[in-house]
Structure 1
Amino acid sequence: MSKIEQTVEVPHLGGSTVGYTFARPYDPALPTLVLINSYTTSAELYRPQFADPALGSAVNLLALEPYGHGRTRASYRHFTYWDSAVANLQALAALGIDETFVLGTSQGGWVAVRMALLAPDTVKGLITLGTSMDSESRRSRDLGCWDGIGFNTPLIDDLADPVGEDWVVPDELVDGVFETALGGVAGEEREFWLTAYRANYSGDAGRRRLRLSTVNLRDRDGLHGRLDEISCPVLWLHGTADQVYSVPNAQEEIRMFTGSPEARLEIIEGGQHFLSASNPDEVDSAAIEFVKRWV
């Protein structure tokens, strides 16, 4: 059965439209697993998960796109990751979903954690992939993570000026994201993402969304002082080939979830930063096991 791609209206940020994708019609008898995508991608990041019959029969798969990404739009001009967490919770309420597990890749991981902090009765478990709970700090870089400030600042500067409606995101930016996140993509997969990015980031409104998404990535607040308030179980999956956030960082941060009934880190050998795309079999089987254990 084909995916169900729609939008839902929520009141946050002056009224917003949130893009969502179900793998199939919602089944209230099944637990729901929310999927939150990584920087500049969309719900399409989770095509491998939507195509997995085992995962699709175990849970309702529901991808929610953060502000600045995919089909999600706000009336107000600025937003943060906290805003995306609030909008996601409002979207769940609008869809009639009272409880859920949340899986997030990279930025999706820290949006997921923000959702659990804001609504612990709604979020019953967290699965974070290739993420970090810190700001782009000196501590993070000392543990082998990327220089997010150095990486993002030139792009923020390049996107500062208004552009015409014929502007589309440069191919080299898309290639750079996937080189960093997956070691590169080629052929049909590269063409798929070039087309998706051009649709999502075109014209001056697209430039603004892309720039603000990059500002958020660079300038976000860290969560270290809040992680002890997470009360649900946490499964953190991290790849050894992740070029953005390091295994030593994950090993240190997983210990900060002191209020969780279980906070566990699993290392995926050879796994890339966009782990759900590079290692879908390992991610999907781990997600099924986690949800069945904690439902």
Structure 2
Amino acid sequence: MSKIDQTIEIPHLGGSKIGYTFGRPYDPSLPTLVLVNSFSTSAELYRPQFADPVLGSAANLLALEPYGHGRTRAAYPHFTYWDSAIANLQVLAALGIGEAFVLGTSQGGWMAARMALLAPDVVKGLLLLGTSMDFESPRSRDLGCWDAFAANSAVIDALAEPVGDDWVVPDFFVDAVLASGLGGVPDDEREFWLAAHRANYAGDDGRHRLRVSTVNLRDRDGLHGRLDEVRCPVRWLHGTADQVYSVANAEEEIRLFTGSPDARLEVVEGGQHFLSASHPAETGAAAAGFVKHWA
């Protein structure tokens, strides 16, 4: 499958350029599955999904890069996950896609859920991977989730001051993301993500986008009081080896989708936090089945 990498202009945040990738030329006879990537990654996170012939035959695959990530840029310097949800909906409208399923990995799940809340007539189903619907609360830590304040505050402080044009994100930051998201990766995959991060998070603009993205990760609002208004079906996949959010948390939160016609959790044995990358076969099969059933 030949990917199509492009950007598109939308009006949100003073005018934005959003990076997007189609798995192949858009086919209006197929449903569309939007893919929203995890923290500091890009549309390239979904290379296994773009290479999956079964999933590619079930839906148009459209990866949308959130604010602070990939090729996406905005006129305004600050943004939240709500902004990325709005931007994604504006991209769909600009592309003439009236309905879509949305799959989100980790932070992508927060944006996917926000899209469903903002536009229930557009979002026809949610596929949530290795995520949480809470803010970074004491409740979630009691259930075995990570301590986002300890993990992110030092990064936010370290990125506070302006830097020169020659600055690039340090290797140890990328290694920490890969360790927590995938439990480590082969050398060639590490080199791929080191190069991708260095290219994207360079100079003072890159520093600031990474800092705001990290602030969002630590300080976001929770969705518990809103989840009963999600009206579409929900499939939540969560790995037993997820180092960031626990299966116990997912078991509690899937029950909060009381307005959904069908909300289910599927536990993936050995699955890592970036589940679409660690277990692409299980992710692809679940996504293809979900879309075929509900389209």
| Structure-2-length-normalised TM-score | 1.00
User: In the alignment, residue 114 of structure 2 is paired with which amino acid?
Assistant: R
Q: Secondary structure at the match of 2:134?
A: coil
State how far apart, in whole Å, the 2-side matches of 1:237 and 1:146 are: 18
The within-5 A match list for 1:131-142 is 131-142=131-142
Instruction: Give a deviation string over 1:256-284, Cα, whole Å, max 9, x none.
Output: 00000000000000000000000000000
Equivalent residue, structure 2, for 1:96: 96
Equivalent residue, structure 2, for 1:120: 120
Instruction: Give a deviation string over 1:167-225, Cα, whole Å, max 9, x none.
Output: 00000000000001100113111110000001110000000000000000000000000
Q: Secondary structure at the match of 1:127?
A: strand
State how far apart, in whole Å, the 2-side matches of 1:46 and 1:57 are: 16
Equivalent residue, structure 2, for 1:51: 51
State how far apart, in whole Å, the 1-side matches of 2:233 and 2:28 are: 22
State how far apart, in whole Å, the 2-side matches of 1:222 and 1:235 are: 19
State how far apart, in whole Å, the 1-side matches of 2:215 and 2:84 are: 14
State how far apart, in whole Å, the 2-side matches of 1:176 and 1:186 are: 14
State how far apart, in whole Å, the 1-side matches of 2:291 and 2:28 are: 15
Give the Å deviation of 1:238: 0.1
Equivalent residue, structure 2, for 1:208: 208
Equivalent residue, structure 1, for 2:130: 130
User: In the alignment, residue 230 of structure 1 is paired with which amino acid?
Assistant: V
Equivalent residue, structure 2, for 1:256: 256
Q: Secondary structure at the match of 1:166?
A: coil
State how far apart, in whole Å, the 1-side matches of 2:112 and 2:81 are: 10
State how far apart, in whole Å, the 2-side matches of 1:250 and 1:58 are: 27
State how far apart, in whole Å, the 2-side matches of 1:154 and 1:186 are: 27
Structure 2: gaps of 5 or more residues: none
Equivalent residue, structure 2, for 1:292: 292
The within-5 A match list for 1:160-171 is 160-171=160-171
Q: Secondary structure at the match of 1:49?
A: helix
Instruction: Give a deviation string over 1:128-152, Cα, whole Å, max 9, x none.
Output: 0000000001001000000011100
The within-5 A match list for 1:115-264 is 115-264=115-264
| Structure-1-length-normalised TM-score | 1.00
Q: Secondary structure at the match of 2:8?
A: strand
Give the Å deviation of 1:2: 1.7
Structure 1: gaps of 5 or more residues: none
The CA RMSD over aligned residues, in Å, is: 0.5
Q: Secondary structure at the match of 2:244?
A: coil
User: In the alignment, residue 13 of structure 2 is paired with which amino acid?
Assistant: L
State how far apart, in whole Å, the 1-side matches of 2:131 and 2:107 are: 7
Greater Cα shift, 58-67 or 181-190: 181-190
Q: What is the aligned-residue identity percentage? A: 77
State how far apart, in whole Å, the 2-side matches of 1:241 and 1:34 are: 25
Equivalent residue, structure 2, for 1:41: 41
